[in-house]
Amino acid sequence: MAVLLSPRPAEVAAARRAGVRTVVVAPDPSVPSDREGAERRVRTDWRDHPRLVEDVGRLAEVRAGRARVFGFGPAATLAAARANEALGLPGTPTTAVTALMDKAALRARSNALHPDRPVSFARCGRAELLPFLTTLIGYPCVIKPRAGADGEGVRLVGDAAAAEAAAPHYPEITDLLVEEYLEGPELAVEALSRAGRHRILGWTRRLPGPGAGLTAAGHDLPVALDQATAGAVRALVRGVLDLTGHHDGPSHTEVVLTPRGPRLVEAHARPGSEELTQLLRLAHGTDVLALALAEGLGLPEPVRRPRAAHAGLRYVDFPPGRSLAEAGPRLAAARAVPGVVRARLTVPPDTVVRATPTGGHHHAQLLATAPTAALLRSTLDDAADLLARDPLDPTPRPCRLPLRPDRGFA
């Protein structure tokens, strides 16, 4: 039995595909979880560790050792690891989860995998030191919280003036990481570990947004890599997981293909976002969530069903001041484009956009499949134009993120 901490409907649906019985644990378990097939609900705040252990420990399957707690969100991953250890259930060790969360320690450990050319970095405890430390590392460089998720607080700075301007955006006493900017194509790698053996499930290509910032325009796959590069990516991911003690469970690792070889951006003891796992399922038939649940409970793997040659994700953002009250017809038009699998807002439909989203957050997402890369891009471009069009302006003025020229991929 899978005990799921505040799962998204996609996670409950994945449990059903894997033939896994489910219990949803949440402060207020949602109706979508029921609709997707959850059998039982435990109403409790899983962020309260003693209460979570007490309430889940009453379940007969837990007492018999026939269950495991799963958390696929940033906070839920750590809570699940702690609960499994307290209840004597298998799962990713808490030490591995926390080791992957600590970006400074992770950088130091991953640098041991390429001592001839390590990634330069420094920790920063006071925001006023950012101009000095960024100059020490060299420009361009990246400022990021030592612990964080979804790109929040991450900034690319190109000179001392930019670092000076960035300092007020962080608390005076802080815990930051300053590291050299890794230039090159970026991959998001999904893996599944069991007893210390790391199986690479697949990877997607991160598409850079406009300008010189860190914004992503989306992801797509398949990704054509030569044999040596693919082997180096696998070796880096496996090496990072070994160094942090991640012996069991899913992981998501971000890697940049630099001229000196693959280098780690960051890694997590959980699958990537729902959209990234959906891309792998659409194109390769690799059901990351269902595999993680089945593997964690010792069940047979779900049947692999490839569906398309190419799959892609695009983000759409709207300018400040745009009302999304009339977004319904534009969403319908985007969904009607042949090949579009999903078109959805990630903000309430009656929202008036106040600011550009930060980190990895975006106003809308599009998923599509196609038999060729060219048709995939055309499909997503057409759908993004329809979704982003201003309803008060008959002239199409796309506000989607344009793609920077791709470098390093065939």
Nearest to 151 by CA among 121, 117, 186, 119: 186
Query: Using an 8 Å Cβ cutoff, are 274 and 148 in contact?
Result: no
Query: Using an 8 Å Cβ cutoff, are 317 and 399 in contact?
Result: yes
pLDDT at 180: 96
Q: Report how far apart, in Å, the C-alpha atoms of 87 and of each of 78, 80, 90, 303 are.
A: 14, 10, 9, 31
Render each residue's pLDDT in the chain as its tens digit; 410 residues: 999 999 998 999 999 999 999 999 999 866 566 656 778 889 999 999 999 999 999 999 999 999 999 999 989 999 999 999 999 999 899 999 999 999 999 999 999 999 999 999 999 999 999 999 999 999 999 999 998 777 788 999 999 999 999 999 999 999 999 999 999 999 999 999 999 999 999 999 999 887 666 889 999 999 989 999 999 999 999 999 999 999 999 999 999 999 999 999 999 999 999 999 999 999 989 999 999 999 999 999 988 877 778 999 999 999 998 988 888 899 999 999 999 999 999 988 888 998 888 778 899 999 999 999 999 999 999 999 999 886 655 554 444 445 555 544 43
Exposed e or buried b per residue across 82-95, where buried means at least 16 C-beta atoms within 10 angstroms of its C-beta:
bbbbbbebbbbbbe
The pTM of the full predicted model, rounded to 2 decimals, is: 0.91
